[in-house]
Chain A
Amino acid sequence: NAGVTQTPKFRVLKTGQSMTLLCAQDMNHEYMYWYRQDPGMGLRLIHYSVGEGTTAKGEVPDGYNVSRLKKQNFLLGLESAAPSQTSVYFCASTDGLAGGPAKNIQYFGAGTRLSVL
């Protein structure tokens, strides 16, 4: 059972280059999320999706775009990478059912470490 898989695991970009981070989940979850983790900042929400074909902005959306064309996949795009986007990116998913966290715990991928030079 793979859970949440992120590709690639590592990437180095030059300023201005573009790239797409892929998140795939095999748990048939409705909700998917993209976070970034920076030293001393915890995890901050970039964008999220409440279902196939939907996306919404999180806390720090600037410079990123997302797409959810298939339920199991959530893509994060950087159109023109900047050094400020050097970070570790995490994808998460949850089934989004109403109720306590026991029913909608967020499951995380292993992360993508991105460096922008």
Chain B
Amino acid sequence: DQQVKQNSPSLSVQEGRISILNCDYTNSMFDYFLWYKKYPAEGPTFLISISSIKDKNEDGRFTVFLNKSAKHLSLHIVPSQPGDSAVYFCAARSIIQGAQKLVFGQGTRLTINP
């Protein structure tokens, strides 16, 4: 069973507009949620995170919202830029026997059109 789901495989947005990427999870024990960005032929790189006790975290053009009751989080990018075109992975963290573990969603490919 997929504990973290990204139901949109792809998203296309016009440059300058807002991009909204969504993620759902099932396990209430996750303590942090993270977004990673991945370009082709590169490894994922950390983008932004949010604690499970917060409902919003902002870093420049990137904002992550968490709705615990709905077990849903979203990443907002505004304004969207061509360099934002990449695959975005949502990840949820748990600590098991002292070890940090991440569970990843399937990823959403974001394309920003000029």
Contacts and interface: CB of A to CB of B under 8 A. Distances in A.
B89 interface: yes
Interface residues of B, number: 26
Contacts, number: 61
Interface string B36-78: 1000011111100101000000000000000000000000000
A32 to B, nearest CB: 11
B44 A108 contact: yes
Interface residues of A, number: 28
Interface stretch (A13-21, A64-72, A76-84, A93-101): A93-101
Given A101-B46, A109-B43, 12 more contacts: A35-B104, A42-B105, A42-B106, A45-B103, A50-B98, A56-B99, A58-B101, A94-B100, A101-B49, A108-B45, A110-B41, A111-B41
